[in-house]
Amino acid sequence: MPERARASRRLNAAAAILEATAQCMDADSSVFLMGEGVADPKGIFGTTLGLVDRFGPDRVIEMPVAENGLTGIAIGAALMGRRPVMVHQRVDFALLALEQLLNNAAKTHFVTNGVHKVPLTVRMIIGRGWGQGPEHSQVFDSVFAHVPGLKVVMPSTPYEAKGMMVAAIRDDNPVIILEHRWMHYAEGEVPLQLYETPLIGPALVRQGDDLTIVASSYALLESIEAADHISEAGIHCDLFDLRIVRPLDLSLIIASVRRTGRLVIVDTGWKMFGVGAEIMAQVTEACFHDLKASPRRLGLPDHPTPSSRGLATTFYPTAQSLAETIAALIPEAAHRLAGPIKALENLRLSVPVDVPNPAFRVPF
Amino acid sequence: MPERARASRRLNAAAAILEATAQCMDADSSVFLMGEGVADPKGIFGTTLGLVDRFGPDRVIEMPVAENGLTGIAIGAALMGRRPVMVHQRVDFALLALEQLLNNAAKTHFVTNGVHKVPLTVRMIIGRGWGQGPEHSQVFDSVFAHVPGLKVVMPSTPYEAKGMMVAAIRDDNPVIILEHRWMHYAEGEVPLQLYETPLIGPALVRQGDDLTIVASSYALLESIEAADHISEAGIHCDLFDLRIVRPLDLSLIIASVRRTGRLVIVDTGWKMFGVGAEIMAQVTEACFHDLKASPRRLGLPDHPTPSSRGLATTFYPTAQSLAETIAALIPEAAHRLAGPIKALENLRLSVPVDVPNPAFRVPF
Amino acid sequence: MHLSAHGHVTRFADRVEVISVSGDDSHWEDQLKSGWGTTRFFAAIEARKANSDLVLVDVMGAIVMSGKSQQQGLGAIVDTYAGRARNDDLGNDVSLALYKDMLRNRRIEEEIARRYTDQEMRCPVHLSIGQEAVSAGVCLALDRQDQIVSTHRAHAHYLSKGGDLKAMLAEFHGKASGCCGGRGGSMHIFDVPAGVLLSLPIVGSGIPVAAGAALAMKQRAEPHVAVAFLGDAAVEEGVFHEAANFAVLHSLPVIFVCENNLYSVYTPLKTRQPDLPLERLGRCHGMPSITADGNDAEAVLAVTRSAVARARAGDGPSFLVFDTYRWLEHCGPNYDNDIGYRTPAEFEAWRGRDPLSRMEEHLRNNGILDAGKIAALEADIDSEIDIAFKFALESPLPGPGEVNVYA
Amino acid sequence: MHLSAHGHVTRFADRVEVISVSGDDSHWEDQLKSGWGTTRFFAAIEARKANSDLVLVDVMGAIVMSGKSQQQGLGAIVDTYAGRARNDDLGNDVSLALYKDMLRNRRIEEEIARRYTDQEMRCPVHLSIGQEAVSAGVCLALDRQDQIVSTHRAHAHYLSKGGDLKAMLAEFHGKASGCCGGRGGSMHIFDVPAGVLLSLPIVGSGIPVAAGAALAMKQRAEPHVAVAFLGDAAVEEGVFHEAANFAVLHSLPVIFVCENNLYSVYTPLKTRQPDLPLERLGRCHGMPSITADGNDAEAVLAVTRSAVARARAGDGPSFLVFDTYRWLEHCGPNYDNDIGYRTPAEFEAWRGRDPLSRMEEHLRNNGILDAGKIAALEADIDSEIDIAFKFALESPLPGPGEVNVYA
Ligand SMILES: Cc1ncc(C[n+]2csc(CCOP(=O)(O)OP(=O)(O)O)c2C)c(N)n1
Ligand SMILES: Cc1ncc(C[n+]2csc(CCOP(=O)(O)OP(=O)(O)O)c2C)c(N)n1
Ligand SMILES: [Mg+2]
Ligand SMILES: [Mg+2]
């Protein structure tokens, strides 16, 4: 097969992340990987598979189970000009490392008045489904985003997953990648070459004048499903993939809301004190006189993730619940949206609540 | 002096917290205290002074410097029916303990379907001034408030400091008390007896129809200063002491904004992804059609706390900056507010930026 | 001074040895050269100073217990230390109790593994097959009011301590009748009446919680103890050391039980720690620390009884390392020796030391068990299991209604 | 076997001893009874096995170094191990260098204390007066490209490593010309060209950062080492153990220097840890660990050189405990022996071991220093200090303009 023909392939996001990592390690000998399981036979859900054979155990370092200490070690190496990539199989495990991340990683560039840099990338995987329970499913996007000095990114597609991974590794700042486990399955076109997608601003994924939707990570996949269904009923939305939670650049979204007058934000984490609150606050301030109705937020309800599928049914926002929210926001369209909502409900009921929706494997 | 006459005295908040702790330990033998410095000659800025002599080292436990482990130990004791009170001299030190706090403390009641309780109180002191720098001054109110299962309270007055401390200790849930170092100096009437102030809802501190202000912790003291000054120019505000960040009950505030149509929130922590964002989002949703202008937020700018007083001047919201924000929100009053703003500026310039404002020692 | 290994050596695992110290001092330097190692000499010297001639030492040379062989046999020394009398009959009762516990846990987990592919248990499961001797031995040394805190690999601990089987299986099925009402899943099982305080899925997270339970016991002057179960990876978390330091400092009645199955998920111990005995990590905090054969339930029991006696006597915590091996994959119902992180030979060697078969053989040899008795025991257990699964399967799922976020 | 303490004992601190092992084996049991302790015997036996007759052991009996007395004196053994030659002249140069460093740090910090009440330095200051021998000895063993990571009590480390005095004082004054441009204050001082990588105010936080710097050095095969300074409280933070385990596992060129001044703020060591030598906490991870007199700059230097040589040779980390004492309050410029957490007698005893006076006496006795030379040195230092304070005071405050949040 000629090189040209392989220039872009369909990959799932896990493979895209693996490719990004390998290419960065090839291109720059200062890049190295650390994590619990990075060198094991499963290779972090396939995202680090084979790297230890290629780059050796000095650049693919299997960690002791000691998240705080190893984060400090990664920071120390980063200060000396290395580019460590650390992986946590769950966001939740990184809770142990917050002192290092929120203080030393986030603040050292500021504290040293720009002299030191901390080019650290930390991948954290958001768990969901199969009864994960309360401590294997947390998101904490708004927690990381609260802290100046960190960059916080949430890829939603294989293309972005690769491009943001490359950009994160090359970035001279500490970048937290919040990577949804169910996003790993999503497939899409991924260029073969080493490219980066810039770590600033959202991406417009669907276009329309009736309403603006902002979603990130896995919530984007549900939102696409909703947007496509309601567009069949003639309701067309600007749908943004938020992509970058910090630094937060809302200018495109503000321009959109000025036009649509309506905004719904779908959070991947808890709604209360979540990312949606900040977006809603900033957009409201900027677009107050253009708003036709109050912006709305969807997100996880105000309790920990239950393990049982019996309790999970109403826990996560869905394409259906988003469509219902939109119907409430545009009363004049409510009647037309009944059909799509019903269709989305049927779709939802056709797959178990606790495994990835196979339909989302090829969302783009 | 007859007992009656001492029924209520002027105390500063530090003394009020000490009294609350002593009275709770007297009343309930399951209450005990742990912390770095709880038994030392300074007694956590005086808030634990003398307790070790009265209750012995088994109930006033001087901790090793091991925040995560000791938090887990406190949780284990709480599960067995004890009522531990842990103190951190800075919020920042508790970053090491977040796995225990955000998981085991916050979620165990939920996970065990209501069987277990975690009656733990954790006092964390917010540092400010005298060049504390980036890691001795963080607030993280919105971080704790993001997590269901915790209660998060921020006292602003000696009366509340005592009453909320008592309520926290008696509460069967984990309660985080975010206690501002500069609030310790505030003086006010404090009843002698053991009383609690309920851990729900804000308190109305000043009344008026022109605007609603919500502030918490030390920001309340600045806000009172501002409200009192602008009221001289005929602008009267509903000023709420937020008190309780989680569970967040905004009904009184929503009712107020329905009347005033204007809202300013003053955060003690960073503005971005701060408490003000959630309040603004909820109030906007509830009061959209009553709002005369977009709500506004004040808070810390998007960088770490600098140590130098040269950089601190513009870092913290002040009574002056609040008054200026109000003037911008009520354009028709801007002219009248010029005088009070000037007066507030003069007041601000009359005290150094990095020590507590002596005027706020007697704010009530 | 002549030093020789006592016959009980294997009984107390590879790494705990009994040294009988004879009166003849002349050969000690020869012994040294013959590979005896200096740590044993050191212990022997200490025993001599204490006027003992029988001493139980661990691999680091620390004296676990010592005494006079003429007055007391080793077993008696152990039991004196543990504050319990022991004779052959009780020995057999104890062995049988340990056997039953292991047999029951084995069959329960085998049934979980078998049924897992039905996809009715929709949560991760971490099975303890191969490791049953640890929970059996530890929990038999405990009273009901003693508390245990477990980990992600909690089933065996929960069951050995007396946790309700139905409530456990119902929880795995996500049912309202589960011990967590479906909130927690398999990594959160607990049972208050049985003294299973909590299980926690975050590695190391339960260690200080157990120490805290012990603090409460101490503050209330209760004669109970708390046990923290932990894996060989959990000692890598700093929180282990933080809890250990405090427990020693305050003489808390807590026992840190480290189940060393050589792996953290697929990562071997030697990739995560220098090649040194794990017990050093307890000893450095100043607590008695010992390694025993974690596939020998009696050794586990004896060592745990010593630690429990210490704790109840107010003498503080202990660190117990039990060497053992997990047969199945880290998480899930399958054998996974094919995927490359451990050799089939290693696995077979450990399977050869199956704690259940070893105990069965011991009891058969002693005439306590025969094929008929075993079949009867198995039938009993299987019917209990059937009933419990039926209960779990028939229980309703919880509805999305009330959630207990606040007390 | 006859064992006796060598004359160098006091030179290497109370808790490090030199044992010379003579050929006569008959008295060993007498020695044992006479309180010599078994750890020394153990070391002596090991030395014998290694065919040495001179052995330097620490209090735990671990052999720090050994050799043959006829071939090499102890000093030579030390230096062989450290990979450096040493003769009397160099010895005096070294002593003088250590003295100058301590004198300079002492006078700088005394001046800070004196001026602190002017309220121009508006940030917390944690002074090292009384502890100067540690930074002097450690940093003299380091090259410029070696990195140190310090704590809240950072001044002496920063200065001994070659950090810029003006930039430090300007930082304390919150000035734009401060090493952090006023962002950090006294707990964040750093100096890249001098190899002061960072100072960090959170207890224990810098320990893994230093290990990470060492990882970078190892990955790039550079011959440098990293030093983590830490206090006696920092070993209570789990992160110390996490970093230590990884450093040993990967043979990182990092040295953990624990300055044991017996207190964490006002809380004595015995209230926070069991009464055991701190070095056990390094040893349990499998790294050479040693305690030395932290008020004897030469002992600090010798021990650190050994550790540096090990690290540069690829043999991995060491844990060095230096016993010392802080004279002033935890934070601030005053004496605080009146407030009740430590006795005046304890303080006076430690003041009697002033590292600076001890070195001065040594150098006077050896004819290297006299009153005139000392006065000249002091005058030099004082004028440097004056100039630096003037610089700090005259520098402008940073304006609320650009802040570097992102690179
Ligand atoms: C803090 C944290 N890091 C990582 C994990 C992921 N994890 C779950 S179990 C496990 C292995 C633990 O190994 P060990 O303690 O030896 O117990 P074992 O599984 O062998 O019984 C890991 C790393 C976790 N649950 N928590
Ligand atoms: C995590 C954390 N907990 C508590 C503190 C408060 N604190 C600052 S210095 C200090 C004492 C540290 O003692 P030690 O490590 O012995 O150093 P020393 O001050 O004696 O030099 C403490 C507890 C802190 N800075 N960080
Ligand atoms: Mg294991
Ligand atoms: Mg100290």
Cβ distance D258 to D248 under 8 Å?
no
According to the 3-state scheme, what is the secondary structure of D100-138? HHHHHHHHHHHHHHHHHCCCCCCCCCCCCCCCHHHHHHH
What pLDDT is attached to residue A312?
A: 87
Beta strand D263-264 pairing with D267-268 = antiparallel
Distances (CA, A) of A135 to A272, B27, B90, D335: 18, 36, 26, 48
Distance CA A345, CA C392 (A): 29
Distance CA A236, CA A225 (A): 13
What pLDDT tens digit does each residue of chain A (364 aa) get?
444 445 789 999 999 999 999 999 999 999 999 999 999 999 999 999 999 999 999 999 999 999 999 999 999 999 999 999 999 999 999 999 999 999 999 999 999 999 999 999 999 999 999 999 999 999 999 999 999 999 999 999 999 999 999 999 999 999 999 999 999 999 999 999 999 999 999 999 999 999 999 999 999 999 999 999 999 999 999 999 999 999 999 999 999 999 999 999 999 999 999 999 999 999 999 999 999 999 999 999 999 999 999 998 889 999 999 999 999 999 999 999 999 999 999 999 998 989 988 877 644 4
Task: Name the percent of chain B lying above pLDDT 70.
Answer: 97
Q: Residues of B with catalytic annotation?
A: 67, 136
Distance CA D232, CA A110 (A): 29
Q: For residue A252, how far is the Cα from the chain centroid?
A: 19
| Residue A256, φ and ψ in degrees, nearest 5 | -65, -45
Of these residues, A19, A36, A88, A136, which one is catalytic? A136
- Average pLDDT of span D159-181: 98
Distance CA D303, CA D324 (A): 15
Its pTM stands at: 0.91
Task: Name the percent of chain D lying above pLDDT 90.
Answer: 76
Q: What is the CATH number of domain B3-191?
A: 3.40.50.970
> Which chain C residue has the Cα nearest residue D282?
C284
> Residue D101's closest CA among D179, D145, D162?
D162
Tokens at C363, concatenated: 């009891």
Helix (H, G, I), strand (E, B), or coil: what is residue C227?
A: strand
> Residue C290's closest CA among C266, C258, C262?
C258
Task: Identify which of B73, B99, B112 has the shortest CB distance to residue C211.
Answer: B73
Instruction: State in Å: Cα C243 to ligand 4 middle.
Output: 20
Restricting to C residues 217-256, those with a Cβ less than 8 Å away from any Cβ of B are 217, 219, 226, 238-239, 241-243, 245-246, 249-250
**Residue C187 pLDDT > 90, yes or no?**
yes
Q: What does the radius of gyration of chain A's CA atoms come to, in whole angstroms?
A: 20
What band does C34 get if pLDDT is binned at 50, 70 and 90? very low
User: Hey, whose CA ends up nearest to atom 11 of ligand 2?
Assistant: D264
Among left, alpha and beta (phi > 0; psi -120 to 50; other), residue B247 is beta
**Residue C20 pLDDT > 80, yes or no?**
no
Distance CA B176, CA B154 (A): 9
pLDDT in tens, D30-73: 443 333 334 455 556 556 666 666 666 543 345 555 666 555 44
Beta strand D254-260 pairing with D226-231 = parallel
Distance CA A136, CA A68 (A): 18
Q: Where are the domains of chain A?
A: 3-191, 203-349
Q: Exposed, middle or buried, A198 (CB in 10 Å: 0-12/13-18/19+)?
A: exposed
Residue D33 burial (CB count, 10 A)? 9
ipTM comes to 0.93
User: Hey, whose CA ends up nearest to atom 18 of ligand 2?
Assistant: D231
Helix (H, G, I), strand (E, B), or coil: what is residue D63?
A: strand
Residue type, D367: G
Identify the contact set of chain A against chain D, taking CB-CB distances under 8 A: 32, 58-59, 61, 63-64, 66, 68-82, 99-100, 103-104, 108-117, 119, 148-149, 151, 171-173, 247
Q: What does the radius of gyration of chain D's CA atoms come to, in whole angstroms?
A: 22
Distances (CA, A) of B307 to A111, B283, C22, D183: 9, 35, 70, 5
Distance CA C186, CA D340 (A): 52
The answer to whether residue C241 neighbours chain D at the CB level (below 8 Å) is yes
Q: Identify the CATH class of B203-349.
A: alpha beta
Tokens at D337, concatenated: 């022996």
- Average pLDDT of span D271-298: 96
What's the gap in Å between the CA of B270 and the closest CA on chain D? Answer: 14
> Residue A311's closest CA among C391, D153, C403?
C403
- Average pLDDT of span D120-125: 97
CB distance C404–B69 less than 8 Å?
no
What pLDDT is attached to residue C66?
A: 61
> Residue B148's closest CA among A315, A106, D211?
A315
Tokens at D233, concatenated: 């409280």
What pLDDT is attached to residue D151?
A: 98
Instruction: State in Å: Cα A36 to ligand 1 middle.
Output: 9
Q: Pick the residue of C117, C395, C403 with the most A CBs within 10 A to test the interface with A by mutation.
A: C403
Distance CA A356, CA A257 (A): 31
What's the gap in Å between the CA of C196 and the closest CA on chain B? Answer: 12
Task: Identify which of D238, D403, D406 has the shortest CB distance to residue A173.
Answer: D406
Q: Where are the domains of chain C?
A: 9-87, 92-391
Restricting to D residues 180-199, those with a Cβ less than 8 Å away from any Cβ of B are 180-188
The contacts of residue C57 (CB under 8 Å, 6+ apart) are C16, C17, C18, C19, C39, C40, C43, C63, C64
Q: For residue A14, how far is the Cα from the chain centroid?
A: 13
Q: Which CATH architecture has domain C92-391?
A: 3-Layer(aba) Sandwich (3.40)
Overall size of chain B counted in residues: 364
pLDDT in tens, B274-299: 999 999 999 999 999 999 999 999 99
Host H or E run for residue A126: strand A121-126
Distance CA D187, CA D189 (A): 6
Catalytic (active site) residue A285: no
What pLDDT is attached to residue D68?
A: 63
Beta strands in D76-222 (DSSP E): 147-150, 196-199
Task: Identify which of A41, A96, A311 has the shortest CB distance to residue C182.
Answer: A311
Beta strand A263-270 pairing with A296-300 = parallel
Binding-site residues, ligand 1, Cβ < 6 A: A 36, 65, 67, 89, 93, 96; C 152-153, 201-203, 231-234, 261, 263-265, 330
pLDDT in tens, C252-269: 999 999 999 999 999 999
Host H or E run for residue A277: helix A275-287
- Average pLDDT of span C102-123: 97
What pLDDT is attached to residue A80?
A: 98
What pLDDT is attached to residue C80?
A: 43
Least confident of B107-116, D296-305, D396-405: D396-405
Cβ distance B48 to B35 under 8 Å?
yes
Cβ distance B222 to B247 under 8 Å?
no
**Residue C71 pLDDT > 70, yes or no?**
no
Residue C116 burial (CB count, 10 A)? 17
What pLDDT is attached to residue D232?
A: 98
What pLDDT is attached to residue C50?
A: 64
Cβ distance D333 to D362 under 8 Å?
no
